[in-house]
Amino acid sequence: MEFRERRGEIRQGRVVGLVIAVTMLIWILAQSLGSYLGLPGRYALLIDFLAMVAFLWAIISGILMWRSRRTTRNNK
């Protein structure tokens, strides 16, 4: 049972890392394409807001993972 829980934690950590990396790449690409195409500033704000939501999700997920690990280690 412990091995399955550990695999779940590892998988969740990979997903969080992937979300951070992909969000950063998409954000940089969208910002440069937006200025190249001459899109209005409201689209830049929309892209910034979506990136902040993704980063907020990653932070919350990371905190929940940390608390879960700390709880399981204290219970052993």
Whether residue 32 lies inside any domain: the answer is no
Distance CA(53)–CA(59), nearest Å, equals: 10
Tell me whether residue 49 is in a domain. yes
Answer yes or no: is 56 within a domain.
Answer: yes
Using the predicted structure, report yes or no on whether residue 2 has a pLDDT greater than 70: no
More confident residue, 10 or 2: 10
Does 12 map to a domain? Answer: no
Q: Is residue 22 assigned to a domain?
A: no
pLDDT value, residue 55: 97
Q: How far is 74 from 76, CA to CA, in rounded Å?
A: 6
* Residue 74 confidence (pLDDT) above 80: no
In a domain, 67, yes or no: yes
Q: How many domains does the chain have?
A: 1
Asked, for residue 21, whether it belongs to a domain, the answer is: no
Q: Which two tokens stand for residue 2?
A: 């412990």
Residue 51 belongs to domain spanning? 43-71
